[in-house]
Amino acid sequence: MKSNKKILIVVTNFSGNDKIKDTGVWLEEFAVPYLVFKDTGYELAIASPLGGLSPVDEGSMSCSNPEEWDACIKILRDTTSLSEIDYKDYDAIFLPGGHGPMFDLAKDVLLKEIVEYFYNNKKIISAVCHGPAGLVLACDKNGEPILKNKKVTCFTNKEEHIVKRDEDVPFLLETKIRELGAKFENASPWAEYVCVDGNIITGQNQHSALLLAEKVVEKLN
């Protein structure tokens, strides 16, 4: 089934540093929504700040992963540079997580511009786990954070502590989102949880990727 809707998926280029090694995008958070969107018939573009390789977090690679995810790994090896994307052509944007986005998407000024365009033009903005890091710079036309007074979720401080990454990341995403004035919501660690507030759709962790993708499809249709 072919649809005339288009989704821009923006992934990280960050693979690690002295503190945090072999990170990047969490495979499930890319693969599950990607396959849902593809099966729905949407036209997809996979972009990253620099283009080229979007590294897959080693922790998300497992022999128990579905075979169809293998093709998704190949797609992540050759992404389009964000600067080459005509983002105004797209109906929705989606940011998968993994710890990578905390280091590059969180401070990318072009992504900020793109997210603000989507927000001001009432297009769908979606992100899962650490993906909402790519939304923290974006402001509305009055200069207020787009997440202010919105129901938002992400990988929680508690989950970050459990995986022992709270000392390794540049900031705690839940704390940052609360500081921006969002109405932060979450379930217990590793539970499936998605917030929908207008056109902003966010998921708490990798287990929320499928539900988030379904909510995006629901909105687009």
* pLDDT given at position 40: 97
Helices within 104-156 (DSSP H only):
109-120
Would you kindly state where each structural domain of the chain is located, as residue ranges? 6-220
CATH code of domain 6-220? 3.40.50.880
The tens-digit pLDDT sequence of the chain (221 residues) is: 677 999 999 999 999 999 899 999 999 999 999 999 999 999 999 999 999 999 999 999 999 999 999 999 999 999 999 999 999 999 999 999 999 999 999 999 999 999 999 999 999 999 999 999 999 999 999 999 999 999 999 999 999 999 999 999 999 999 999 999 999 999 999 999 999 999 999 999 999 999 999 999 999 99
Q: Which two tokens stand for residue 122?
A: 């009432």
**Closest listed residue to residue 27, CA positions, set 209, 215, 171, 172:** 209
* pLDDT given at position 78: 97
pTM for the predicted model, two decimal places: 0.97
* pLDDT given at position 3: 77
* pLDDT given at position 11: 98
Residues 6+ apart with CB under 8 A from 221: none
- Cα end-to-end span (Å), the chain: 13
Q: How far apart (Å, rounded) are the C-alpha atoms in residues 2 and 197?
A: 28
